[in-house]
Amino acid sequence: MTMKLSTAVLVASALCAPVLAAPMSESEVQDLERAVAADYDARLEAAFKDFHAMPELSFRESRTAERMADELEALGYEVTRGIGRTGVVAVLENGQGPTVLIRADMDGLPLLEETGLPYASRHTQRMMDGTDQPVMHACGHDVHITSLLGTAKQMQDRHADWSGTLVLIVQPAEETGLGAKAMIADGLYTDFPKPDYAIAFHVASELEAGRIVVPAAAAFSSDDVIDLTVFGVGTHGASPHLGIDPVVLSAAIVMNLQTIVSRRIGPRRPAVVTVGSIHGGTKHNIIGENVKMELTVRSDDFETRKTLLDSIERIVRNTALAYDVPENRLPTLTYLDESSGPGVNDAETAAYLAQVISARLPERFMTEPVREGMGAEDFASLVEPQHGVEGVYMFVGGTPAEELDTAAGHHSPLFKVEPEASIRAGTEVMTLSAMALFGKDKR
């Protein structure tokens, strides 16, 4: 996941709903804050440092998953291992009521950590090619899983104050875009209680540590990952008239694709079509047989996404036809499995949680910054429209205020967060949100 936020421009759309009574009183929230602080000192700080020092790559998070499963079992949850290869599902049934799912991702990135922290990762993992690769928690997933442990304890300790079913998932392979899909394919929504609501958060280096943002609509953009192969007719470079040059054709396609956002999408709708890689040809004087390209396509809503993908297919096909490519040699587009739709929060549920959080954690809550990038997150796969799950994805700040101007971004070898403030805030907001959702239909 990568995302850039700017706090220069603020919007208050998440606060437009009528004020709703929070399900926890002020004194109960104060008790929660004290309990989370004590749990951080007793347990969570050590867990975080262990996770940070021993990160694991996507679908290879065996050690992390085992520790999470053991910790959740010790708290009294019914735990199932190996869902979506390395994923963990923990269920706490607590009478009649809605089902609330809380998700935390756990994979690291293939980077050599350069933070200089005393608990910095020196861990390596063996790659498919047989080489050893350094691994780092350069996106804050160690914060997410540590906060999930904290939330699991707080919800268990307060089980007399809510009713329903709580489902906690420890998800693999967010960084590949495949983890959530793998868990769904492995029975997450059929073999376990189907959630009415799903919530999650991401720690953000661009926000002050401990501050909380609840996006009113799109928390993340879609990410369609496309392989495009353009076919030509090979010939000698000195006799281009005897063939069809796929390099020239590809250049035309690349330029034509850039008209989609500027001429097919409304100016106020975010959209990106990027050709990130292009390879073709073998020698100076040979017109080759094909060119291969790799594309990423981003949008913030399903209508724009459809327009982008339909336009790409139309432009690719018709540009090739204009260059006299025969029907049996037209370009092919392959949509990779790691593609995901836009991460759009359920508007009514997001507004409700924003009201609850702003009422009970006012010193942490902040209005929504404008997004400056179009990062993606596979939480979107858990809340696709066909699943019928109302989802809300939030952000928790991870950087001390005095370091915001110099903080390294996500996926950097220098990325680091202030663990106590971010873990405590993440635990508090997930606990408060779950409690609110268990009482939402009773308000």
Write out the catalytic residue numbers: 105, 175
* CA neighbor of 230 nearest in space, from 303, 289, 158, 287: 289
Phi, psi of 334, deg, nearest 5: -120, 125
Phi, psi of 266, deg, nearest 5: -60, 140
Report the C-alpha gap between 355 and 110 in whole angstroms: 39
- Assign residue 115 a region (left: φ > 0; alpha: ψ between -120 and 50; beta: otherwise): alpha
Phi, psi of 12, deg, nearest 5: -120, 25
Tokens of 335: 């949509």
* CA neighbor of 107 nearest in space, from 58, 153, 156, 154: 58
* CA neighbor of 3 nearest in space, from 173, 259, 145, 174: 174
Q: Find out whether 350 and 215 touch, Cβ atoms under 8 Å.
A: yes
Q: Which residue's structure tokens are 């790691």? A: 338
Which alpha helices (H) appear in 54-135, and where do they start and end? 62-74
- CA distances to 208, 244, 335, 362 from 401, rounded to whole Å, are 5, 58, 41, 17
Report the C-alpha gap between 28 and 173 in whole angstroms: 36
